[in-house]
A and B are shown apart, each in its own frame.
Chain A
C-alpha cells in the first residue's frame, strides 16, 4: 500500500469530519443535529482507527473504540432522551441566518488551513493536513456554541469541538492512551453534569433557552 492511498483515506475521513461540521452548523432541528453529531463521531472513530492502522499504534484502536461507544452511541442517545423529556424536539432556533453561518464557517476553514500550513512547514504532510482539518472542526464547534441559543445545541457544539481535539491528537503521533482515556471520561462527566444542569435550568425557567438565564442575571444586577 503506497503513501498515496494512506494519505487519501486519511484526507477523506478528516475532510468528512469538516463536512459534517458544516452540516451541523446549518442544522436547526435538534434531532437532525444529534444525528449529524453521531455521524461525525463515527467518522472520527474511523479516522482514528485509520491512523492506528497507518501508524501501527494499537492503542489508537482503543481511542477509536472509545469515540465510537461514547460519542456515537451514549451521548447522542442520552441527548435524545433529554430532548424527549424536555419536549423541545420541535424547537427551531437561530441567531444568525444559515447563509451567513456557512460563509463564516468557510472563512474559518480557510483561516485554519492558512495558519496550519504556514506554521508547520517541516512536519509530515499527513499530520499537517490532519491538524488543519482538526483546527477547522474546533473552530466550527466554537462557532456553533456562539451562534446557538439553545443549551442542548451548545452542548453538541462543545462535543463536536472535542472531536476536533481528538482528531488532532490522533494525527500528532504520540498522545498517550492515558490522556485520551481521561479526556474521554471528562467529556462523559461533562455530559452528565450538563444533562443535570439542563433539567435544573428547565425546572426553574421552563425553557432551556439561555437568554432566560441572561434575563435572570439582568434582574439581579
Chain B
C-alpha cells in the first residue's frame, strides 16, 4: 500500500470515528474510546508521513472516483505535504492524548467528540489534496468542523459571537481562495494541480493571485489585519481544540500559502516577497503587543500565535525575495527557517494551550489575575509550562531559538539583494522581528510570573490540584519534542531539504555530518549554532551552581513570609498584576492609539470612596477596519433596500438602462 493510500485510509478512519462518535456520544465510555481511536490513527499517520519525509516511503499520487463526475478526487503526497502531515498528526496525537484526561471534564461531550475527529480528518485531507476542487472542499470541511468546535460551549454569548465572526472570516477566506484557484486554473477547467503548475499566466494575474491567497490563507493563519477572529475563537473552544486550532490549523493555512504561491503560481516578481515580508513583520509586532496586554491566558496565547505566524511569513517573504533574484541558497535558508518555525510553533503552542487548559481544569479560571502561586500546587504542570514559555520566548537550548536564529541568518544575507527597496526593508523587518522576540519574552515572563509565581489571588488558585496523568503525559511528550528539536536541529534541517530543493531550487548543506551536531546554515557567513553544547553547558553550570550553594551555603529550604513592603498582612491582591506588568510597554507603544483607554476616577476631597482605575484594551483593527467596513455594508444595504419595492415598469427600466449603459461603455472603450 502506498503512503498516500494509507494516509487517506487514516482520514477515512477519522471520519468513521466521527460518525461513531455521533452515534454513541452520550455513552459513558465514549470520551476515552474516541480520543483513544484518534490517538492511534494520528500516531500511525504521523509515522507514515515522517517516513515519507525522510525518504523511507516513496511520494505517491492517487485518484479516487469520488467528487466531481469524470474528474474524480486527486490526492498526492510529496515532501512538503509529508512535512505538514507530520506536523498535523503529531499535534493531533498530542491533543488526543491530552484530551483522554482533559475530555473527562467536558459537560457536553457530544458537542465536541464527533467534530474533533472530523476536524483532524479535514486537516489531513487539505494537505493531501492534489486538485483545486478537493482542496477547497477539504478546506471548507476543516473550517466548518472547527467552527462547530468553537461554538461547542454555545451557552456563553461570547462564544456565539466568536463563532459568528469566525464563520464570516472563514467564508471570506474560502471565497478568496476559490477566486485564486479559479484564476490559476484559467478557462480550461482542468482542476488538477499538475495542470495548474504547467499553465502560464500574466504578471497581473499572478499579483492578483498572490493578494487573494494572502487574504484566503492569511485570514485562516491570522495575519494582521485579518486576525480578528483568532483571539475570539481560539479561547472559546475547549483547550485541546484550541491547541489544535492555534498550533495546527494555522499551519495548514501556511501549507496552503506555500502550495499555491511557491508551487502553483510559478515564478513571482521580487515585490511579492516585499509584500509578504511587510505583512509578516506587522503581524509579528502587532500580535505580540496585543498578547502582552491580555489577562486571559488563552486569548494571550491566541495573540501570540499571530506573532509566530508573522515570523513564519517573514521567512517565507524572504524566501520569495531571494528566489525571485535567483539566490537559491539564501532562499533555501529562509524557507528552512520558516518551515522549522512552523514545526516548533505547533509544538510549543500546543504545550502552552495544554498548560492553560490544565490550569483551567484545576482552578476554573482563564483570567491570570485570579491565579498565582500555582507552582506549589501544580509543580509538574508549572515546570512543563515553563519549558513552553522558554521555547516560545526563543531562549536556547529550546527549539524556538533555532528557527528564529535561522530567520535572522537569512535576514543577514539581505545586503546581497539587488533591489534597493529590499535592501532597506529587510533590515527594518529584522528590527521588527527583534522587537517581537523581546516583547514575546516579556509576554511569557508575565504569563508564567503572574499565573504560577507569587501568592494565590483567589480561593480557586489556593485550592488547585495537579491535573491527571494523561494531560501531564501529553505535555511532557510535547515538551520533550521541543527540547529534542532544540538540541539536534541538524536532523530537522536535513529533513526539510527536499522541500527547499523543490521550491527554491537550492538546499542547505547536509548538517548531520557536522561534528557535535552543530548547525551551520549559511556557508557565506560561517556562523554556527550548537544546541547540544549550549544545553550541556546550561545544565552543567546550573547543577554546579546548585551544588555549590547547597554545599557551601546552606542545605535547608527555608520558608519565610513574603516580602510585604513594610505593610504587614497585605492582601494577595496587592501583588503585581498582569496589567501592571504590561503597563510600561503599554504606555510606550500604545499610549496615543485607540487601542487602550485608561481612566482614573479620584474621589472628591473628604469623600471616603476609593479611587478607581479602569483600563480598556481593545484591538485597534476593529475600530480602524472592521467597524468602517460594517458601517459601509449597513449603509449600502439600508439605501439599496428600497430597490426591493419598485414597480414592474421601474424594474424593466432598470434592466433597460443598465443594458444601454453597458453597451455605451463597450462602444466608447472597446
Contact = CB atoms under 8 A, between A and B. Distances in A.
Interface of A: 108, 111-112, 114-115, 118-119, 139, 142-143, 145-146, 149, 154, 210-211, 213-214, 217, 221
Contacts of A146: 649, 652-653, 656
Interface stretch (B19-27, B447-455, B502-510, B660-668): B660-668
B647 interface: yes
Majority secondary structure, A binding face: helix
A139 B648 contact: no
Given A146-B649, A146-B653, 8 more contacts: A108-B660, A115-B670, A118-B667, A139-B660, A142-B655, A145-B656, A146-B652, A221-B645
B655 A114 contact: no
Contacts of B655: 142
Point out which of B645, B648, B664 has the most chain A C-beta atoms below 10 A from its C-beta.
B648
B647 A111 contact: no
A115 B666 CA distance: 6
Contacts of B666: 115, 118-119
22 contacts: A111-B663, A111-B664, A112-B663, A114-B667, A115-B666, A115-B670, A119-B666, A139-B659, A143-B656, A145-B652, A145-B656, A146-B649, A146-B652, A146-B656, A154-B652, A210-B647, A210-B648, A210-B649, A211-B647, A213-B647, A214-B649, A217-B647
* Shortest 5 CB-CB contacts between residues of A and residues of B: A214-B647, A114-B667, A115-B667, A142-B656, A146-B653
B656 A217 contact: no
Interface of B: 645, 647-649, 652-653, 655-656, 659-660, 663-664, 666-667, 670
Nearest to A112: B663
A139 B663 CA distance: 11
Given A118-B666, A119-B666, A119-B670, A111 B660 contact: yes
Contacts of A108: 660
Contacts of B647: 210-211, 213-214, 217
Contact of B670 (A118, A149, A217): A118
A29 B645 CA distance: 31
Contacts of A118: 666-667, 670
A142 B649 contact: no
Point out which of B653, B655, B663 has the most chain A C-beta atoms below 10 A from its C-beta.
B663
A214 to B, nearest CB: 4
A213 B647 CA distance: 8
Nearest to B669: A118
A149 B656 contact: no
Contacts of A111: 660, 663-664, 667
Contacts of A143: 656
B216 to A, nearest CB: 34
B601 to A, nearest CB: 51
Majority secondary structure, B binding face: helix
Point out which of A115, A217, A221 has the most chain B C-beta atoms below 10 A from its C-beta.
A115
A130 to B, nearest CB: 17
B371 to A, nearest CB: 59
A142 B654 CA distance: 11
B96 to A, nearest CB: 57
Nearest to A148: B649
A149 B659 contact: no
Contacts of B653: 146
Nearest to A143: B656
Nearest to B650: A214
Contacts of A214: 647-649
A113 to B, nearest CB: 9
Nearest to B664: A111
Point out which of B649, B655, B670 has the most chain A C-beta atoms below 10 A from its C-beta.
B649
Given A213-B647, A217-B645, A221-B645, A115 B652 contact: no
A111 B659 CA distance: 11
A111 B652 CA distance: 19
A149 B650 CA distance: 11
A112 B667 CA distance: 9
Contacts of B664: 111
A146 B656 CA distance: 8
A112 B664 CA distance: 9
B647 to A, nearest CB: 4
Contact of B649 (A115, A119, A149): A149
Contacts of B645: 217, 221
B652 A142 contact: yes
A22 B649 CA distance: 20
A87 B649 CA distance: 23
A213 B648 contact: yes
Contacts of A211: 647
A122 to B, nearest CB: 14
A221 B644 CA distance: 11
B358 to A, nearest CB: 60
A142 to B, nearest CB: 5
Nearest to A118: B670
B240 to A, nearest CB: 54
Nearest to B653: A146
Nearest to A221: B645
A221 B646 CA distance: 11
A149 B656 CA distance: 15
Contacts of B656: 142-143, 145-146
Contacts of A115: 663, 666-667, 670
A58 B659 CA distance: 34
Nearest to A117: B667
Contacts of B659: 139, 142
A217 B660 CA distance: 28
A146 B647 CA distance: 11
B669 to A, nearest CB: 10
Point out which of A143, A146, A210 has the most chain B C-beta atoms below 10 A from its C-beta.
A146
